[in-house]
A and B are shown apart, each in its own frame.
Chain A
């Protein structure tokens, strides 16, 4: 344990980026990079991605650009034991994809029932906020799916992860990250 350099205790052990498939080849990218490169989704369909991005952006501004949909999608495609999702520590029963599909489906169904058939992603900003505020308090009538308040907590944490949990997120808030073992690629 001698000669320990402050905050650089061990090097090279971390794999910070996630494995995405681009052109049939697995590459390591951050979710933000995966989004900007248009990496195809593995698990979620187009409607689920739209709902997740709209929800993420409503919950935490910046979540869309930070790649919430690529982060969640990639995490749902790997074994639960390897998953880094907050769902893992919020007692969501694996496979986690079941929860996300049920949650995103419930959001869109409730939105359509409340807003003349319009899915959540096409609501305007104030409508989205109103919807989320009702959802977090379990105040949406005829909600069908995991409890709205719990969906709020899980997805809000995902959005917080990609916006504030990265080294860039810390830097944006002016908080020193101070890693012992730094995640590579600033993850």
Chain B
């Protein structure tokens, strides 16, 4: 087994969180190697086609899916440099102050060990780093004031504007959506041209994916990004007190060791616990940093309640961005829906394509044959949708475990066991009801709820942060309580999920964690 030259930091995963750690630490003068199991995508690979966009999604070892609401990960997964953030929608809502203190304020779920104010500065800094468009002042109805976004809101289109009357009628205030996209040229990257292909990867650089933001910074500062490198274990010293590097398989599928002073697991909320469980030793018999028994526990997903409508006019649904044009936190209070518990985050306006998973044809999955053909003609002109993301509370039964089946490298597969509780189902239903009311008030000719199996969007938890090794896996920086030179990055460290799209918070938390590591390098790395 070959051993590479030792680096200061080995980062597993080149997605949103890994790219931030790589940029910060490379700029701090550290020798950084980023190991990514998929290919090294270039902007020129991002073809405007739903067929070709599927190449950006998982091709690694499958996860086995169990529970009443199996977690459908593959459509939103990442494969290769940039990770899932290479094809994300770049909706950038923040978490709100009430997300951090659910246990304290409601006596249920979990508290974060930090408050909104601990993160606010990092939200503002990320906005400046990578470019966010929006209207911060308009958001301050719901959150403490911060810095203005560096760019004005994005353009809006009829497929978004047409909903505003309906939201107003039911008492909901919509504001310009905060998005990680350029409404104007920004830092050498061009303004968006609103062609609606964000979900298959933006090749112009207008959308703030890792390849054109933090990962570009990291490479410029000397970080090495090593694609086609599949990490299978985190290695520890004999005493079990520190990690010493990672074992991985290179592009020739040969086993290698990358020694490192610090290891950052930024692979994915599913893959990080899989790796830590597979790295068990006699000193860590339940997996790394798992004396609490909480490694792989408290997995969470978001559910959306989509409302479709056809209007009797051309709403130009091919124009815009895949993400939202408008957003609202007016239903974000944990008890804002009677008889339910959890936040809801509302959006309106998105570009649609014919054959994307959430596109025209799948707006009415029940239709086929001539009925579908007739629907497609109507939908091409007048179809548009709104969405309500709902929050699932952390449940210890929702978890990741190793399975007996193994992948091509001999590493056990993992299974994700996931079920929604009654609160989640009630919130899902309540959001549908209000969506239909909005559509009717907006004057829709036809409207219906996007029901079916309760969806599972994003994957969070599994390596949650907390105050100590008794109640969590990491601290608020992502540093594991038991192995000070092992960090975990990404939404896996969220102890609760809120209802906001998570990537803006992932960037902010990662920036905070990476800077803490750099500032305390001598104690972390020695």
Contacts and interface: CB of A to CB of B under 8 A. Distances in A.
Interface of A: 1, 4, 6-7, 9-10, 13-14, 16, 58-62, 80-86, 88-91, 93-94, 129, 132-133, 136, 152-153, 156-157, 160-161, 164-165, 169-170, 173-183, 187
Contacts of A165: 49-51, 354-355
A174 to B, nearest CB: 6
B57 A88 contact: yes
Interface string B65-87: 10000101111000100000000
B11 interface: no
The main secondary structure of chain B at its interface with chain A is loop
Interface residues of B, number: 52
Contacts of B196: 178
Interface stretch (B94-102, B187-195, B421-429, B494-502): B187-195
Interface string B38-65: 0000011111111110110111001001
B369 A180 contact: no
B181 to A, nearest CB: 14
Contacts of A4: 190, 204
Given A90-B75, A165-B354, A173-B376, A1 B62 contact: no
Contacts of A133: 368
Nearest to B379: A173
A143 to B, nearest CB: 18
A60 B54 contact: no
B205 A1 contact: yes
A175 B54 contact: no
A84 B51 CA distance: 5
Contacts of B54: 83-86, 88-89
A9 B203 contact: yes
A179 B53 CA distance: 13
B33 interface: no
A1 B190 contact: yes
B187 to A, nearest CB: 10
B202 interface: yes
A60 B62 contact: no
B44 A7 contact: no
B112 interface: no
9 closest A-B pairs (Cβ-Cβ)? A165-B355, A179-B48, A81-B59, A13-B44, A89-B75, A164-B354, A173-B380, A178-B195, A160-B361
B318 interface: yes
Contacts of A6: 193
A181 B203 contact: yes
Given A58-B368, A91-B65, A183 B373 contact: no
A83 B376 CA distance: 26
Nearest to B57: A89
Given A6-B193, A10-B44, A173-B380, 13 more contacts: A9-B204, A10-B43, A60-B372, A81-B79, A88-B58, A156-B361, A160-B361, A173-B376, A178-B48, A179-B47, A180-B48, A181-B46, A183-B52
Select the residue from B73, B197, B361 with max chain A CB neighbours within 10 A.
Answer: B361
B360 interface: yes
A169 B354 contact: yes
B370 interface: yes
B365 interface: yes
B69 to A, nearest CB: 13
Contacts of A173: 354, 376-377, 380
B350 to A, nearest CB: 15
B23 to A, nearest CB: 19
Nearest to B453: A149
B368 A82 contact: no
Contacts of A16: 47, 49, 52
B75 A161 contact: no
Select the residue from B49, B57, B59, B365 with max chain A CB neighbours within 10 A.
Answer: B49
Contacts of B357: 86, 89
A161 B59 CA distance: 20
